[in-house]
Amino acid sequence: MEGPTPVSALIHAATLVVSGVFLIIRCSIIFENSETTLLIVAVFGCLTAFFASTVGLYQNDLKRVIAYSTCSQLGYMVFASGLSHYSISLFHLANHAVFKALLFLSAGCIIHGLTDEQDLRKMGGILKLFPLSYVMVLIGSLALTGFPFLTGFYSKDCILEIALSKYSIIGNFCYYLGCSAALCTAFYSFRLVFLTFINKTNTYKIYIEHAHDAPILMALPLMILSFGAIFYGYLSRDLVIGLGSNPFFNSVYTLSSNFNLIDAEFMPTILKHIPLFFTLTGIFLSFFLIHCAGVCKQSIFLAKKDYFKNIYIFLNKK
């Protein structure tokens, strides 16, 4: 799935890789009549969400980090379908298309401005040189992590609430792995931000001398997508997943016994805040382990331990 950045943005965000999810949604009437198939879809979906997010934790290629986050988000879409809520799966698919296109195109601006450098370890300290790209990546990363009131928040949290309100073993299994994946997503999203823009620079002098932010023709699509990443989820949530809404008419079929959106809607507020807690934990872990590693001797001491090295190698090599 590797290619030029605009091609990556197209296939990862909106077309090729999500076609399988769309096929499951369109075949909902077949899936609904087989409990075993739904169980398999839900299990493989949540395992994909968790596994891909752990692999993304320590990838060093800028585009690879974003690509593995795509795999992780696909897992969310698939296990939402496995839990019989196809409209929420399609809602997350549409939301994901907006902020993932923003992230990939912003990554393209950074790579283009740094003379085609993609290695995160050879970046850093370019915040003042790439202010626009930084803002775009930050908005995209916050939307990806499901930060409150951005686009990803409305669909991602809804998927996890659906899983918890199933009150079954498979629902709890999906919920816990989904929350763990949310923590990992927050960690690697802000690891990308810190290593690329904020940490001390580790790039070549010639790259810095020739560095430049996106020209207006490249920046304009990013600005349009950034508005989508902020507002699209809020503006379309009631249309797609609101109680009583039926935007897809009879093209999506759910058995009444499998429908538990009302249970999720009126769940205790403290339970609804658990995914947010995992997300904030991932952000703080990223701050302490990635950003503060250069100034905190304890972090350097931990990084030299063999078991931390083994975890890093295990995740980096998939």
Q: Tell me, yes or no, whether 169 lies in a domain.
A: yes
pLDDT at 1 over 60: no
Does the residue 47 lie in any domain?
yes
pLDDT at 301: 59
pLDDT of 132-170, one tens digit each?
999 999 999 999 999 999 999 999 999 999 999 998 999
Domains in the chain: how many in total? 1
Query: Which pLDDT score, from 0 to 100, does residue 299 have?
Result: 53
What digits encode the pLDDT tens for the residues 86-138?
999 999 999 999 999 999 999 999 998 988 888 888 888 889 899 999 999 99
What pLDDT is attached to residue 70? 94
Residue 306 maps to a domain: no
Residue 82 domain-assigned (yes or no): yes
Within-domain flag for 108: yes
Residue 220 in domain:
yes
Residue type, position 77, single letter? M
Domain membership flag for residue 295: no
Residue 300 has pLDDT above 60, yes or no: no
Quick one: pLDDT at residue 261? 86
Least confident segment among 46-55, 77-86, 90-99, 206-215 = 206-215
For the question of whether the overall pTM of this predicted structure is more than 0.85, the answer is yes
Asked whether residue 141 is domain-assigned, the answer is yes
Whether the predicted pLDDT of 295 surpasses 70: no
* Structural domain containing residue 274: 5-288
Confidence of residue 308 (pLDDT cuts 50, 70, 90): confident
